[in-house]
Amino acid sequence: MIFLDLFLMFFRLGLFAFGGGYVMVPLLQSEVISRGLLDIYEFVSLIGLAQMTPGPLGINSAAYIGYELAGAIGAIVSVVGVIAPSFIIIIFICHFFKKFYEQGLTQSILGGIRPVTIGLIASAGVSIFMMLMPLEASNDIIAKAAIILVALVLTLTNKINSIWIVIISAVLGILLY
């Protein structure tokens, strides 16, 4: 039964995570924390680990959670669950691509989904920060907010490669904590 639960949970996440892995973060957060599968610290660690390992965030997260709950088979079932919706949708879209893409309705739908994707990504970052804020010492909050602000400015101005931002943040984490 755990395998069916894992498959269905990640199938739903894969079905509604239109726009990539970061859109999946608030959905994943809601699923795993509300079910008591992970606490907020474990969830934040999961996201960090999923970012550090090669591969998409959704697949890495599914593999981690599946493995933690049901071993190697749980990881496989979770990964299949998270990629199955995309696989099915892409096969369908490829079959009708030209007909769909040229229709104004498709362009309108995509135009409405793009801003929502950005909002979901921003929501995930803010909600994780707000959930951790009361649990941390005030000095830690200021240091973390400063790291976030510096990373955001460097990312938005494209002055530095995002890989270097992650490395610099890791070094700052080591020095500050």
- Give the pLDDT of residue 134: 65
**pTM (2 d.p.):** 0.62
Domain map of the chain by residue range? 2-135, 137-177
Task: Give first-to-last CA distance, the chain, whole Å.
Answer: 42
Q: Which residue has the higher pLDDT, 177 or 136?
A: 177
- Give the pLDDT of residue 77: 97
Residue entry with tokens 């965030």? 57
- Give the pLDDT of residue 138: 59
